[in-house]
Structure formats: C-alpha cells, structure tokens
Structure 1
Amino acid sequence: MSFVPQEIEDYCIYNSTQSSQVARELMNFTRASVHGSNMLIGEMEGSVLKFLIKLGKVKTIIELGTYTGYSALIMAEALPDDGKVITIDLNPETSKIAQSFWDKSEHGKKITLMLKPGLEALAELKGEFDFFFIDADKNNYPHYLDWALKHLSPTGVIVTDNTLWSGKVLTAGVDKQTDSIREHNEKARLLQGYTKTLLPIRDGMYLIQRS
C-alpha cells in the first residue's frame, strides 16, 4: 500500500536516481511471475535505502526478509566493494530467484543468504552492523528490533518496513501481526538516546539512529 497517489510517487521516482538494469529486471519479473509480489518494496523505498547507505558510509548490512532479492541487490549496489549484505529468509523458491538475479550483477558477490528462521539466523551472528532492514514476519518485529539495537554500530541505522500496515496500526487488537507492529513502533518511540522518524513512504518506513 502507498499513502501517496501513484502519479506523485511515479514523479518522485522519475526525479530520483534510477534503479540498475538488473534491479529493474528483477522487479519486473517479480511483479509478473511471482506469487505475493505485493511484498516487494517499491522503487521509492529502494531509493531511500540507497541514499541512507551512501550517506552513512555503511559497510555491513543485515536484512530480515529477502523475498526475491530486490532490496538486497539495491542495498548491495550502494555499498563499497568490501561491503557485505547478510540477508535472511525461509523460502527456498523465492531465494533461488533472488540468487539467479544476484548472479547477473557485479554486486551480487557482496550478498550472503542465510536460509533459516530469522531469530535462529541472528543467534549465529556476532558483532556490530551498520545498517538493518527489517521486512520479515511481522509477529517477530519487536524481537528483531531488540536484536538490532544490541548489535547496532555507533553510527548505525535501523529501517523497518510496513510500519503503517495499511493504516491498521491506528487500532489496537486488529490481529496479532498488527499488534506486533504497534509494539515495535511503541518500543521505537520510547527509545532514549536515539533519533527516530516514521515516514509515510509506501506502507511506512521507521528510521532509527543513535543520537
């Protein structure tokens, strides 16, 4: 869902740095041929992610929720040659699609896929990371945020997608997923020592950085 009229979003995309050819091919293939293509982030979100990664001189990224790999590729394109994206997902079929497109890109070598449940994968990772993109199972959003906060580098940024959830977050008790997103948003709001902003881009992007 987008809270901005499509023609306005299209105008914004037109006036932003354009996606690479491989990224566009992946987006078009996903929209045309893959079930659940509404899970794909939009080009505007991708543009924001790349901007933040470049601005923050990010080198290490954790992504929760790979789907067909568009966001991982977009972020890898913004990294320096020695940068790394670790992306985590459960679905072997969509992950195969992702890998097939990453292999077409010179930036694909920066991407490592962990094919297992999110919390299980995170338990295997050590150290600090510069950037987190949370876009996986909504019920675990609060847990993913907790882990990211503990492993965030001093100048790191956390971005969580779908934090407006088609507007359902305005009402408590709608369903478990909505309540989990509301819990994530409240946790973020109450954080001390962090700068936070919830942007109405697409279905909501929550940005968090240490102050």
Structure 2
Amino acid sequence: MNRHGERQVAALQSIEDPINAYIVQHIDPEDDYLYRLYRATNIHTIHGRMASGHIQGRLLKMLVTMIRPRNILEVGTFSGYSAICMAEGLTGDGKVYTFEINDEMEDFTRPWIEQSHVSERIVFTIGDANLLAPKLGITFDMAFIDGDKRTYIETYEMAMSVLRRGGYIVADNTLWDGHVVDSAYDHDQQTLGIRAFNDHVMADKRVEKVILPLRDGLSLIRKIAE
C-alpha cells in the first residue's frame, strides 16, 4: 500500500461515523503536510480533536475559494491546521490574521505555520483577539470563530464590528457534540455559551444564518446590515 493509501486507512480507522468515513473517501485528499500536522497535534497536545481535520479543512478552503476574501480573521489558531487550510484558498495578497490566546501553544504552532507553503499568507499572533483584532484597523471579508465557547457572543460582536457588509462569519462547534440539546449539560458553562450564542445569532436581524451538522456543527453567517 502506498503512502496515500496508508493515510486514508489511518483516517478511516480514526473516524467512528461511517458517513464521515465515506466522505473522506470521496473528497480531495489531505496533503502530507496537513496529515503530519494533524497527527502531531493529536500526539503532542491534550485536545488534539480541536484541530479542524481533513473534512472541515477542505470545506474551509472551499469556502475561501468561493467567498474570495482578501482579509480573514481567525479567533483560535490552536495548532494552525485551519489557518493553513484557509490560506490555501487565498489569492493575490490575501492574508489570514489568526489569534491564539493560549501562549502555551506558541512553541508548537508557530513552526508548523512558518514552515508551511502558505506561511507568507498567515499572520500569527498570541493574544486576545477580542482586544487586539480591532486595533489592526483592517476591514475583514471573512472570520472564523473557534475560540472560547464561553465568550462566543463577545467574539461574534467583535467580529461583526470589523467585518464588511456582505462578509461571512464561520463559527465552529455550534452543536457542541449534541450537548446543545442534552439536558445533562444544562450546567456546563461551555455548552451554555454555545446555546446563548446560537440564540443570539438567531435573533440578530443583521445577518443571514444556517447551521451545518458537520462534526460539532458549523454555522455560516452572512452580514447583511450594520
């Protein structure tokens, strides 16, 4: 079996849902660099599943290709997988401005970003995006929110303030492994944060929105008014 075949088998063995396994077999393959990054993330970090992974990574690249943003804001870099995927979809002088609040991730993440083939398209910052991103003075065309679930509303409002009209917000984990509809998690602060966020977006007349049941849920939000 060749290297690509071995990667596919490994991916399929790691995915419990047969539908996801079927999807993996029928989409663009994960390149070697992203495969190694995802593997290293799961070996060397505590919450490796937080990385976007193959299916979501290909979707993010496709969304960037479709939306054709010049500037992308990412809140929650983690290991850099999603930033690299989005940067792959950029053209011209487009850039991903990505923020990670956990400074313990820097030693792992920065080398993976800087050694990637899209490193010149990624600006990686350690710090609180809610405080730092508005200071950039940049109008963004797209934002990917994947940070602290307890402050998703705060992050959303920050992203809306720097997003152009007609721009898109992609919010990750908005079904939170099904916990949003599970009463057993009624006292879990992250679950409560996601529920509050979903309610907030639903009531927001400034946007159009849809939730995709992909992985932990992915919300696509389009800003239509200030």
Whether TM exceeds 0.5 here: the answer is yes
CA RMSD of aligned residues (A): 1.8
* Aligned AA (1:44): I
Residue of structure 2 equivalent to 1:27: 38
Secondary structure in structure 2 of the residue aligned to 1:124:
helix
**Which structure has the bigger radius of gyration?**
2
Secondary structure in structure 1 of the residue aligned to 2:57:
helix
Structure 2: how far apart are the matches of 1:20 and 1:131? Answer: 24
Contact 1:22/1:101, CA 8 A, preserved across alignment: no
Structure 1: how far apart are the matches of 2:155 and 2:56? Answer: 20
* Aligned AA (1:208): I
Moved over 6 A (4+): none
- Displacement of 1:146 in angstroms is 0.9
Uncovered stretches (5+) of structure 2, i.e. residues with no partner: 1-14
Residues matched between the structures, number:
208
* Aligned AA (1:166): D
Structure 2: how far apart are the matches of 1:92 and 1:193? Answer: 34
Q: Which has the higher contact order (CA 8 A, sep 6+)?
A: 1
* Aligned AA (1:167): G
Match of 2:103 among 57, 68, 92: 92
Aligned identity (percent) is 32
Contact 1:114/1:121, CA 8 A, preserved across alignment: no
Structure 2: how far apart are the matches of 1:13 and 1:129? Answer: 31
Structure 2: how far apart are the matches of 1:169 and 1:135? Answer: 16
Secondary structure in structure 1 of the residue aligned to 2:136:
coil
Deviates more, 1:13-22 or 1:171-180: 171-180
1:73-103, Cα deviation, whole Å (9 max, x unpaired): 1111111141101111123342222221222
Uncovered stretches (5+) of structure 1, i.e. residues with no partner: none
TM-score w.r.t. structure 2 length? 0.85
Residue of structure 2 equivalent to 1:178: 191
Residue of structure 2 equivalent to 1:114: 125
